[in-house]
Structures are given as C-alpha cells and as structure tokens.
Structure 1
Amino acid sequence: MNTLENLMGATEELYTLLLCLNRKVFSHDDIIKRLSIPPSHAKVIFHLHCGGEASVSEIAKNLSISKSNMTPIIDKLIQENLVERFTDPNDRRIIRVRVTEKGHEFCLKQREKTKKHLEEKISSLSPEELERIKDLAKELNSIFSKIE
C-alpha cells in the first residue's frame, strides 16, 4: 500500500471512529448536561487550563470565537471567579487571561465526571476488550502527540 492509500485509509478510519465515539460515548447532550456553564465558556476555560495564560486575541483565534463575543464570555468567567484578567508585563496594551484556582478545580472536576461517564459507557466490555482499548488508546496518544 502506498503513502496516499495509507493516508486516505487512516483518514477514513479516524473519521468513522470519531462519528462512533460521538454517537456512542460523547453525545453532545450528555456533555452539556455535565457542564454547569455554557459550552462556549467551557471551551475558554479548558483552553486556558490546558494551554496556560493567553491574550484575549489568542484565545479568540485559537477557539474561532470573535473578539466581540470573547469579552462577555471572559466577563462572566471572571464574575464566577474561574479566570482572571491581567495586563501583560511586557506590553501594557495587551490584556491576558489565566485560570484561577477555582477554575483549575472546575476543570479537574469536569475531567473526573467525564472519566466516570466513560467508565459507565465501556463497563459492559470484556476484560480483553478493555485491555485492548487501553493499549490502542495509549498507542494513538503516542502517535498523535507527534502532530503539531
């Protein structure tokens, strides 16, 4: 099999896997029910939790949210004490945002809820299937970590 065939085959299988995971494991409604804040707010806080502090412009660009929509989202997250604004020490014109301790706790709590949800979804699988999923997920994580 040549490189193009491998690429097309991998793309097709990954697409099918994503659809299956979305349908069977991570339905949009289930995710929304587990969150205590709107999805757009969750995207911002998880982005900051995983990637560290960022300017409002960087967050807007990375999450494909307009800058005009970012302000009310960040204002609400500040009001909930999940993030805080501060002036960039190198350029006082730039406003940066970072997650607060409460914000980190929120993200960790959501992570545990998601893991519990996953446990429930896959608990009916055999020990062999669970072992295989664990090994395959570990391998996929290793492979995908190479992508920029």
Structure 2
Amino acid sequence: MKKLFYNHRITTKIPFTHCQTLIILKKYEILSISEIRTIMKIKKQNMTYIINNLEKKEFIKRFADINDRRLVKIKITNEGKEFLNQWQKNALVDMKNNLSTLRNDDLELLLNSIQSIKIVLSKLTYD
C-alpha cells in the first residue's frame, strides 16, 4: 500500500501526518489545536509536535481567538497551501505511474475491491 502512495519527490520535506493537518486546515480554514486533534484522532503531544514543525516551516500561523484570547487558533498560510497543492499534484502523478504498472485484470480487481470497501464504509455511522 505504501508503494502506491509513496511520493519520493517530497516525502523528505514533511511527514504524512503533517500533510493531513494541512489538508484539514485547507478545508476548514481556521481551527483550534483541539479541533484538529479531534478530527485527526491523535494525542495532544503529537499534535503539538506537528503544529510546531508546520509553524517553523511557515506553513501555518497561530493567533489568538478574537472572542477568547486564551484560545489559540491555527490557519494555513499561502506557503502551506502552495506546498500542499504541489504535494497533491505529485502524489497523483506517482499514483498514476504506480497503477500503470498493473495488468488490466489487476486494475479490475482493485476497482472492484474499492467499490466493495465503499459499500461497507457507507454502512458505518459516525457520531
């Protein structure tokens, strides 16, 4: 599985969990660290590590909530958006290249498996 999604061109820049954080911030625009943690289902110390690293790379910005100065909010920066866009483009190219090595019957099997997974996952409820 890792080979399919491995992106050798940019994996050395930041780990996948950091990219997940950027994807979430791009979708929701502004979130607290706690909200990001809840979405990603990770521990506080792991989230702090990720936020600190992303901030050092200037991919995110911390700021105080206007309603509660004790609350810290996080926003993705333009640099973070540019990095994420390039990361996603490269990941697609790498995935296409990896999938192109499969035979047609293997691609058909993969497609059927993905469709089966979608059906099962659609039956799950999330609270």
**Taking structure 2 as the reference length, what is the TM-score of the superposition?**
0.69
Give the match for residue 95 of structure 1.
72
Give the C-alpha shift of residue 79 in structure 1. Answer: 0.9
Aligned match for 1:72, one of 49, 60, 67: 49
For residue 36 of structure 2, what is the amino acid of its counterpart? I
Matches within 5 A, 1:1-148: 22=1, 25-26=4-5, 30-31=6-7, 34-35=10-11, 36-123=13-100
Instruction: Provide, for residues 41-84 of structure 1, a one-character-per-residue CA deviation record: whole Å limited to 9, x for no partner.
Output: 22212221223210010011111111222222211111110000
1:25 maps to amino acid: L
Structure 2, gaps ≥5 residues long? none
Gaps in structure 1 of 5+ consecutive residues: 1-21
Higher CA-based Rg: 1
Contact 2:9–2:90, Cα closer than 8 Å, also in 1: no
What is the DSSP-based 3-state SS (H/G/I as helix, E as strand, rest coil) of the residue aligned with 2:69? strand
Bigger RCO of structures 1 and 2 (CA < 8 A, at least 6 apart):
2
Aligned length: 114
| Greater than 6 Å deviation, 4+ residue runs | none
TM-aligned CA deviation for residue 121 of structure 1: 2.7
Give the share of equivalent positions with the same residue, in percent.
28
CA RMSD after TM alignment:
3.0
Structure 1 residue 88: deviation in Å?
1.1
Q: CA separation in 2, counterparts of 1:79 and 1:43? A: 17
- Assess if the C-alpha contact under 8 Å between 1:32 and 1:39 holds in 2: no
Task: Name the SS for the 1:91 alignment partner.
Answer: coil
Q: Residue 7 of structure 2 contacts residue 90 of structure 2 at CA under 8 Å; is this kept in 1?
A: no
Say which SS state the counterpart of residue 37 (structure 1) adopts: coil
Q: Is the 8 A contact 2:30 2:73 kept in 1?
A: yes
Give the alignment's TM-score, normalised by structure 1: 0.61
